């Protein structure tokens, strides 16, 4: 992520509608993903009344909003879950992990054994790990860990698309920025997709 933050007063910029082990030697620096300006984080206005310091994900805009005081938010471009795997609802951050390991869920292995069975025992954290540099783990009071994550990725081509097994992803440097802002127990709202 370029270290610039763009201020905009344009509502068209986007508004909100309505267990791992660390790697032994994490990379010292993250790649520069050279994203176009419109995919960089920016401060935008949001609908009035959203509480500050929450995460709101609008899958229709491929946008994650970290709400701020004064009806503003930091907007990040994300990839979201594929149709049938995206889960709308209200969650909270139940765990945070740096360079998390990853293990596919049994459902993922059953859906695509060729892609996921080889990782049934897990994959150590690192840039090429599907959870990337950081992960925020989504929980509910009823279910505990939902196995949904907000996480990093080393593949910017997966942004602004419905690509994942239900999670939301940001490029790693933007994920590190978000991770540093978000405390445990933060409220997270995933809005339903349209159409």
Q: What is the CATH number of the domain that holds 90?
A: 2.40.440.10
Report yes or no on 68 lying in a domain.
Answer: yes
Token output for 94: 């139940």
The burial of 163, by beta-carbon neighbours within 10 Å (0-12 exposed, 13-18 middle, 19 or more buried), is given as: middle
How far, in whole angstroms, is CA 138 from its chain's centroid? 10
Q: How many residues does the chain have?
A: 195
Report yes or no on 195 lying in a domain.
Answer: no
Taking the C-alpha atoms of residue 140 and residue 24, their distance in angstroms, rounded to an integer, is 31
141: CB partners within 8 A, 6+ apart: none
Interval 35-89: pLDDT, tens: 999 999 999 999 999 999 999 999 999 999 999 999 999 999 999 999 988 999 9
Q: Are 152 and 132 in contact (CB under 8 A)?
A: yes
- List the domain range (segments joined by +) for residue 138: 6-190
Report yes or no on 1 lying in a domain.
Answer: no
Q: How confident is the model at residue 27 (pLDDT cuts 50, 70, 90)?
A: low
Question: What domain count does the chain have?
Answer: 1
Tell me how many helices (H) and strands (E) the chain has: 3, 12
Q: Which residues are catalytic?
A: 151, 167
pTM comes to 0.84
175: CB partners within 8 A, 6+ apart: 132, 133, 134, 150, 151, 152, 153, 169
User: What integer pLDDT is reported at residue 45 of this predicted model?
Assistant: 97
Q: How confident is the model at residue 4 (pLDDT cuts 50, 70, 90)?
A: very low
> How far apart, in Å, do the first and last CA atoms of the chain sit?
31
Place of tokens 């080889």: 118
């Amino acid at each position: 992520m370029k270290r610039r933050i763009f201020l905009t007063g344009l509502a068209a910029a986007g508004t909100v509608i309505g267990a791992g082990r660390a790697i032994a030697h994490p990379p010292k620096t993250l790649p520069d993903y050279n994203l176009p300006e419109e995919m960089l984080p920016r401060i935008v206005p949001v609908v009035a009344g959203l509480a500050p310091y929450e995460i709101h994900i609008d899958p229709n805009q491929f946008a994650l909003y970290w709400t701020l005081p004064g009806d503003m938010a930091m907007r990040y471009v994300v990839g979201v879950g594929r149709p049938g795997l995206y889960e709308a609802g209200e969650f909270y951050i139940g765990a945070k992990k740096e360079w998390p390991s990853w293990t596919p869920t049994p459902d993922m292995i059953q859906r695509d054994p060729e892609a996921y069975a080889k990782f049934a025992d897990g994959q150590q954290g690192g840039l090429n790990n599907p959870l990337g540099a950081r992960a925020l783990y989504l929980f509910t009071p009823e279910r505990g860990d939902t196995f949904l994550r907000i996480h990093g990725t080393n593949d910017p081509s997966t942004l602004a698309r419905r690509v994942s097994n239900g999670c939301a992803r940001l490029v790693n440097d933007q994920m590190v920025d978000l991770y540093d802002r978000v405390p445990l127990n933060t409220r997270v709202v995933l809005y339903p997709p349209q159409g």
